[in-house]
Amino acid sequence: MDFKEIRERLAKLDTACLCDCGKRVRVMDPEIRPIIQGVKMIGKAHTVHCKADFLTVLKALHDAQEEEVIVIDGEGEKIALAGEMFAMEARKKKLAGIVVDGGCRDVKGIREIKSPVYARYITPSAGTSSKIFKTQVQVNCGGVPVSPGDIVFGDDDGIIVMTEKEVSEILDIAENIQRIEAKAIRKMGEEKSLTDVLNFFDHYAKVSKKEDSRLIFTV
């Protein structure tokens, strides 16, 4: 399965149903939040490691290719390593987005540009531009390892990271989960309760007896 197909299928899903497929999915720290709501980010990681200095981020923005995500390990420093012009450049180059384990600024401008940006902090204070760090190496972003080429998928719930192989192995399962949940939601819209669309009572009884059981949809 090529990346184009993976991207098209992921675009119809959400991070939550992929997380429901298994524990191999790497989930970034929930403190890394989207600056823009309602916009999905799907692309291959183009990694940066830096600390309180954005010069190497500029290098990554120059080097990155279409549909890549700039993933910045800023060591969680409360310093802005990206802003409006970075988001504008990402949009012009058709990058998939920017993730900063650190700070960003110019929030109003980023929201007007509508290029996906995620950050741990929002701060007006910018880093320096006088040090050179590394790009395209494995980094730690949001508490998980990210390697160049890993698939980075973000939505309003947060960001997950997987290899192409890992994504390919769970896409069918994730799509089935989403179909079942959509059917359950339709049933709830028809006056069914949440417990009506689950095996809640049977599961609850078994758990109370310390028997093995699993909560599942019954629609």
Q: 102: domain CATH number?
A: 3.50.30.40
Q: Is residue 66 part of a domain?
A: yes
For 108-120, b/e burial (b = at least 16 CB within 10 A) is: eebbebebbbbbb
| Total domains, the chain | 1
Q: Is residue 188 part of a domain?
A: no
Q: Is residue 166 part of a domain?
A: no
Q: Provide the residue type at 131 as one letter.
A: K
Q: Is residue 176 part of a domain?
A: no
Q: Is residue 157 part of a domain?
A: yes
What residue numbers bound the domain in which 89 lies?
A: 18-161
How high is the pLDDT of residue 23? 66
- The owner of tokens 């490691």 is 49
Return all residues near 109 (Cβ < 8 A) that are at least 6 apart. Answer: 83, 84, 87, 88
Q: How far apart are CA 203 and CA 96, in angstroms?
A: 42
How high is the pLDDT of residue 188? 94
Name the pTM for this structure.
Answer: 0.94
Confirm if 69 and 32 have CB atoms less than 8 A apart: no
pLDDT digits 0-9 by tens, 34-82:
999 999 999 999 999 999 999 999 999 999 999 999 999 999 999 999 9
pLDDT digits 0-9 by tens, 128-185:
999 999 999 999 999 999 999 999 999 999 999 999 999 999 999 999 999 999 999 9
Q: Is residue 211 part of a domain?
A: no
Q: Is residue 130 part of a domain?
A: yes
Task: Please name the residue ranges forming H helices in the chain.
Answer: 3-10, 15-19, 55-63, 84-92, 107-113, 164-189, 200-208
- Positive or negative, the CA dihedral 117, 121, 123, 129 is negative
Residue 22 has pLDDT above 90, yes or no: no
